[in-house]
Amino acid sequence: MNIREGYMPFKNHKTYYRIVGESKEGKKPLVLLHGGPGSTHNYFETLDRLSEMDNRMIVMYDQIGCGNSYIEGHEEYFNAETWIEELIALRQHLGLDDIHLLGQSWGGMQAIWYAIEYKPKGISSYILSSTLSSAKLWEEEQHRRIKYMSEEHQTALKEALESGNYENPAYLEALDVFMDNHCGPTITEDSPECLTRKKVSGKLAYVTGWGPNEFTPTGTLSGYEFTDRLHEIKEPCLITNGQRDLSSPLIAKVMYDNIKNAEWELFQFSRHMPFVEENDKYIKVLIKWLNKNDK
C-alpha cells in the first residue's frame, strides 16, 4: 500500500498529513477530520484498506495541537476558525479541489461549520460520523445517559460538576465507566496497531475547545448551534452513528430530519467509532456512498 507522509507549514508551526493510495479517474479523494478536539488521525488508519478496495485516495491529518502536529500552549489557536483555516490551507497545499469530506465527532462539527459558514466549493458529499449539530442537545443527551448509571457513579459525577474538581478518583472512575459505555472502542492486545500505538493527545486543545468532559461544554465550541441552519447544506450527506454512541440516535435523527439531501446509517453494535467496531460494514457502506456521489 502506497502511503505518503508530510508536513504543511501552518501558523509558524507545521501540520502533519498522511496520504493513502491514489485515486483512479472519477474517484474523488476522501478527506478525514478526526475528533476531539485534540484526538489524532490514528484511528482512521482502520480505513486504510478502503483505498485499495475502492481505488481511492484517502487523506488524514493531525490538527494543530495534537499528535504529530502537537504544540505547547497556544490556547488562542483552539477554536473552530483556526481549525477550519487549517483545513482550507491543507486543501490548497495538497491540491484537493474536489473531495468527499468525512468528519467524526468534533470533525463532523467542523464539517458542518465549514459547510454552512464557508460554503466551500468542490465537496461532492459529506459524511457526518458520530457527530452533532447542537452542543446543547449533546449535553442534554449525555446527562440523560448518566441517569442510567449507578447511584454511586451519578453522585461522583454530580459532585465534580458542582465543585469543579475533576481529579477526584471517584469522578475519574465514573467517567471511565461512562466513556466505556458510549465512546470506546475497547482496546485489547488484538486491536489494530494504530489503536494501541502511543500518541500525543491534545488535552489542552480538548479542554480549551470543548471542556473538561463530554457532558460539560464550556470551551470555545460551547456555543455551537447549527440545527436551525442545517437546511443550508445542499450537498449529499451521509449520517452515521452507533446504537450506544455519544452521538445518540436522537442526535443523529435531528441532523437527518433537518438536512434535505441526507441518508442515515445506524450501526447496531457500535459506540462512538463504528468504523472501528463494525469496520467491515462501515467500509461497505462508505464505498457504496462514495461511488454513488462521485460527481
Domains and CATH numbers, the chain: 3-134+188-292 (3.40.50.1820)
19 neighbors 47 (Cβ within 8 angstroms)? no
Map grid coordinates 463494525 to a residue: 278
- Rounded to a whole number, what is the largest CA-CA distance in the chain? 57
pLDDT more than 70, % of the chain? 100
Could you list the active site residues?
105, 245, 272
pLDDT digits (tens, 9 = 90+) for 113-167: 999 999 999 999 999 999 999 999 999 999 999 999 999 999 999 999 999 999 9
Q: Look at residue 1 in the predicted model and tell me its pLDDT.
A: 83
21-25, 56-60, 75-79, range with the lowest pLDDT? 21-25
Instruction: Assess contact for 109 and 126: CB atoms under 8 A.
Output: no
Which cell goes with 92? 490548497
Helix (H) or strand (E) holding 239: strand 237-242
Rounded mean pLDDT of the chain? Answer: 97
Give the β-pairing of 123-129 and 99-104.
parallel
pTM, rounded to two decimals: 0.97
In this prediction, residues 88-94 reach a mean pLDDT of 98
Count H helices and E strands in the chain, helices first: 11, 8
The pLDDT tens digits of the residues spanning 228-271 come to 999 999 999 999 999 999 999 999 999 999 999 999 999 999 99
Q: How far apart are CA 32 and CA 107, in angstroms?
A: 8
Detail the DSSP E strand segments found in 39-183: 58-61, 99-104, 123-129
Report helix, strand and coil shares of the chain as percent, to nearest 5. 45, 15, 40
When pLDDT is averaged across residues 41-47 and rounded to a whole number, the result is 98
Radius of gyration of the chain (CA): 18
Confidence of residue 295 (pLDDT cuts 50, 70, 90): confident
pLDDT tens digits along 192-232: 999 999 999 999 999 999 999 999 999 999 999 999 999 99
pLDDT band for position 80 (cuts 50, 70, 90): very high
CB atoms within 10 A of CB 39: 23
